[in-house]
Amino acid sequence: MGGKVSCTLGEVKNRADFVLYWGGNPAECHPRHFTKYALMPKGRFVPRGRKDRTMVLVDIRETKSVKAADIFLQIRPGKDFEALSILRALVKGQHVDEKQVAETGLTLEQLTDLVDRMKRAKFGVMFFGMGLSMTRGKHMNSASILTLAAELNAYTKFVAMPMRGHGNVTGADVVMRWTTGYPFGVNFSRGYPRYNPGEFSTVDLLVRGDVDAALILGADPGATMPQPAIDHLARIPTVVLDPKVTHTSRLARVHITTAVTGISAPGTGYRMDEIPLPLRPALRSPYPTDEDVVRRIHQAVAEKPDWMAAGGQTTTTQI
Amino acid sequence: MPAQRFLLNPARTSKQGQQINVGKDNAEYEAIVNTLTMHADDMQSLGVSKGDSVCVRTEHGEATFQVEEGKVPPGMLFVPYGPPTCRLMGGGTDGTGMPTSKGWEVEVEPVQIAAK
């Protein structure tokens, strides 16, 4: 495991002459990515913009992003980890059996050519999407592409970056990281943060029925999570802060309408390269901001008597 | 027509992304998340045409979608994420915190057959 070798999108814009997208469809899901950062812009070390860059797309189907690619590699579903492992072997000059390559849906010639191009690049970047991180293998697929990027640095400069989702998902991870040391799945019930995905992560807590109340902020789990998790949200007192009516607000006991961050409320949004960007509202809203509501809830809770001092049970004593 | 097995890949689309900013509480959003794209040969093999309903089943649940033809590989289905795909998703996360949300093996049959 090599950790995450990354950079800012500004560096991609100014330096990247090799751009690879794996399991992502930016033409549909990140429509400004090509034009603003990764492909079209002229940069300091890529003065001719698109003409100075090679773009490779790896996916299980021909998406709209194929039109923008120089090379399209159609991989067999669920074979990402195998293909990445083969690429790592080829990068190190190890022998790879053609039969092993065939099960990925690609040829040894295609992968050898890809490795040659990667090594010849002056600055390579690999962006990966949910087609890699949400299929069989999940975090091991992500670890594999991050390790490939790290290992390519023995030959040239290479980085990897996840194509993060809409809203401020990167911001949630980054703030949790610098406040607790962990990106998600953090349990505060003992008074200090503990991290264990699969035990303290939201879906697992809801599916097991471990929580007896929920505050949903800037998300719509009612339209994204597995049905058993949604069913539990409907059973317990769920409070939703959202500018719009959503599937979650419909099942919640309380829905507080809030202003839209970035449109009618200020705030900070984190770009997918983890750069914080201040958001200035263009319009006024009659509704409070998420921050106002959370502060008022926090204040009201703080005014209540200390339940632990009054003999309340902690999680430890319950066990 | 007996049920056939496919590989279902929920995904995001630009149209869905735009509609989310308009709102989810309307017929347009419902139509987007209930439309399943499949290969023309697969539609013929199932005996369905554009706009017909199919029932999709996993080991965790089932949902009904309207089909449309698209440029997708044979044997694979694509649909935007939404409440119907939630009903097909299992609650297990394999210790990662994230449920498997792509590459499900599903069983598909036309609704009129399923109802009999």
pLDDT of residue B25: 86
Let me know whether A114 and A26 are in one domain.
Answer: yes
In chain A, the percentage of residues whose pLDDT exceeds 90 is 88
List of chain B residues whose C-beta atoms are within 8 Å of the C-beta of residue A60: 9, 73, 76
Using CB atoms within 10 A of its CB, is residue A68 exposed (0-12), middle (13-18) or buried (19+)?
buried
Within a domain: A2 = no
Domains of chain B: total: 1
User: Which residue, of A137, A162, A187, is where some domain finishes?
Assistant: A162
Task: Give the span between the Cα atoms of A74 and A131, in whole angstroms.
Answer: 12
CATH code for position B49: 2.40.40.20
* Residue range B19-35, pLDDT digits in tens: 988 888 889 999 999 99
Task: Give the span between the Cα atoms of A249 and A226, in whole angstroms.
Answer: 17
Within a domain: A221 = yes
Instruction: Enumerate residues 6+ apart whose C-beta is below 8 A from A108.
Output: A96, A98, A101
Which of A224, A230, A250, A264 to mutate to probe the B interface, most B CBs <10 Å?
A: A224
Inter-chain touch B97–A222, beta carbons under 8 Å: no
Distance of CA B80 to the CA centre of its chain: 8
Block residue for tokens 């560096």: A11
Comparing alpha-carbon positions, the chain A residue that sits nearest to B6 is A77
| Nearest CB to B91; choose among A223, A226, A250 | A226
Chain B, residues 85-114, CB within 8 A of chain A, namely 86-87, 89-103
The 10 Å Cβ neighbour count of residue A273 is 18
- Structural domain boundaries enclosing B20: 4-114
Within a domain: A55 = yes
Inter-chain touch B97–A60, beta carbons under 8 Å: no
CATH code for position A295: 3.40.50.740
Inter-chain touch A207–B12, beta carbons under 8 Å: no
Let me know whether A16 and A158 are in one domain.
Answer: yes
Query: Is residue A53 very low, low, confident or very high in pLDDT (cuts 50, 70, 90)?
Result: very high
The answer to whether A158 and A118 have CB atoms below 8 angstroms apart is yes
List of chain B residues whose C-beta atoms are within 8 Å of the C-beta of residue A204: 93, 97
Residue A45 has pLDDT above 90, yes or no: yes
Within a domain: A4 = no
The answer to whether A57 and A72 have CB atoms below 8 angstroms apart is yes
Within a domain: A302 = yes
User: Which residue, of A134, A162, A190, is where some domain finishes?
Assistant: A162
Please report, as a single letter, which amino acid is at residue A125.
V
Comparing alpha-carbon positions, the chain A residue that sits nearest to B86 is A226
B74, two tokens: 């044979």
Q: Which helix (H) or strand (E) holds B54?
A: strand B53-57
User: Which residue, of A162, A196, A220, is where some domain finishes?
Assistant: A162
Inter-chain touch A77–B76, beta carbons under 8 Å: yes
Domains of chain A: total: 2
B78 touches chain A (CB under 8 A): yes
Within a domain: A116 = yes
Let me know whether A89 and A142 are in one domain.
Answer: yes
Task: Give the span between the Cα atoms of B59 and B104, in whole angstroms.
Answer: 10
Let me know whether A147 and A190 are in one domain.
Answer: no
B81 touches chain A (CB under 8 A): yes
pLDDT of residue A319: 42
* Residue range A90-128, pLDDT digits in tens: 999 999 999 989 999 999 999 999 999 999 999 999 999
Within a domain: A3 = no
Let me know whether A153 and A47 are in one domain.
Answer: yes
Let me know whether A146 and A15 are in one domain.
Answer: yes
Let me know whether A217 and A310 are in one domain.
Answer: yes
Comparing alpha-carbon positions, the chain A residue that sits nearest to B22 is A244
B20 touches chain A (CB under 8 A): yes
Task: Give the span between the Cα atoms of A264 and A260, in whole angstroms.
Answer: 5
Let me know whether A227 and A257 are in one domain.
Answer: yes
Question: Residues A244-269: what's their mean pLDDT?
Answer: 95
Let me know whether A157 and A224 are in one domain.
Answer: no
List of chain B residues whose C-beta atoms are within 8 Å of the C-beta of residue A185: 97
Task: Give the span between the Cα atoms of B100 and A107, in whole angstroms.
Answer: 28
The region of weakest confidence among A58-67, A281-290, A302-311 is A302-311
A194, two tokens: 């503990």
| Nearest CB to B96; choose among A139, A202, A244 | A139
ipTM score above 0.90: yes
Q: What is the mean pLDDT of chain A?
A: 94
Question: Residues A278-307: what's their mean pLDDT?
Answer: 93
Question: Mutual orientation of helices A80-91 and A108-120 as an angle, nearest 10°?
Answer: 60
A242, two tokens: 């959202």
- Structural domain boundaries enclosing A144: 9-162
Residue B56 phi, psi (nearest 5): -110, 130
CATH code for position A147: 3.40.228.10
Task: Give the span between the Cα atoms of A240 and A314, in whole angstroms.
Answer: 26
Let me know whether A14 and A58 are in one domain.
Answer: yes
